[in-house]
Structure 1
Amino acid sequence: MDKRLAGAIRDTNEYTIGIEVFDRDPSTYNTGEDPIVRVQIGRLRERLKDYYSTLGSAAELTISIPIGSYMPMVRKSDENPIMFKPQYLLAILPIHCLTTNAECVSFTQGLSEELTHQLFKEFGKTIVSHTFSNMNRVSRSDATIQGEHAGASHLLEGSIRVEGGFTRASFRLLDATVGCIAWAENFDRHVSFAISLQEDIALSVCEALKRYFSLG
């Protein structure tokens, strides 16, 4: 907030926050390897959302951190935009692990759980309860059929693969009514099978979907 008041908006970026707030060493700090800023900002967004939906529901001013930015915004309560209109029903398919590495398989299963948790926190009842236990390697048309049976308007599918020193998480959003890809994005990170990376990827997917649905 001090940066905004001082007009130093350009200085409020992931790298600067990592150094100034989390005391990272400028000579070794790499935002691709250390997701602490992304994870903590994601948590802060959730806490602000929870606060203004409960104790701060009558506040005249609200503080938020827009998706894609680390700079706080202050608005009058009646000026807050609606980021997500609950006109979509989203089903989450199991994430595929494209390697036989046991540690990666376990990481992928944990990511599926973390992603479901984060999406439910963000979108609530717009997440369709599903039982896609046999969805591994299904065709897109089969996914569309099962999604329609579950009442979903959109299906989220993803995969994890590891090559060299990098982990690539690929996600696609399918329009269940026509079976086409509505959105797709890759998230590249340095190899790490830590819980913090699961949370980082899950929050990144949530933020991307919030942008997609707010524009839809």
Structure 2
Amino acid sequence: MLSSSGFSHAPRARSLLAYMVERYQSGAVRDLQEYAIGLSVFRRDVATYSTVDDPVVRVQVGRLRRKLDEYYATEGRSSGIHISIPARGYVPEVVLQHSPRVVPRIAVDRLSYLGEEAEVASFNRGLNEELTYQLHQMPDMAFVLGQETAGAELPEGWRATHKLSGSLRADSGTLRVTLRLLDVQRNSVAWSSQTDVDRALSIEQQTRLSQACCVALRKYLQQGG
């Protein structure tokens, strides 16, 4: 903030703000009174200084309030910390601003089956249907089937931030789903996970496997991924 264009050419405002915030952070609020500020920041003579006759603190704090308003309207618009000076008093108010959470927009490709068994291929088709359903139960996330985006009516400006793809493999005793989440902007794999369940080609197992995949994906995204 002190190096921003609004403060870089205003040495009095810089010194005043630095002093006030430092005293606030250290808990020395007794130093945030008009008389103390006049002596410490504006170097008034303790023998002659009178807040009645010399309004320097009131004037400069008024200017500081305007500069803070200008800063947060321009360069500090996305700042994570908001500092203000109350209309009465000189103890600053400091508020942490949480940036709005960016909702992931995920294009979902259907899971491919890496095998030749007709029964498992049929199971995989049902698994894709169940996974699509489970994904759309996840709050605060937007999904669209990746293979259908070309002809879909999507909201104006909608663009995927990630792409979810994966595969199903099977042996005599195990079904394994591997998922990969691609960061579209970076064109790199942001996350990958494998989920194993016993081989049981049933709707119940499709549900169990899909839910386990969604739990793993949700955990990653909620951690800020």
Q: TM-score, normalised by structure 2?
A: 0.48
Choose between structure 1 and 2 for higher RCO, CA contacts under 8 A separated by at least 6 residues.
1
Structure with greater Cα Rg: 2
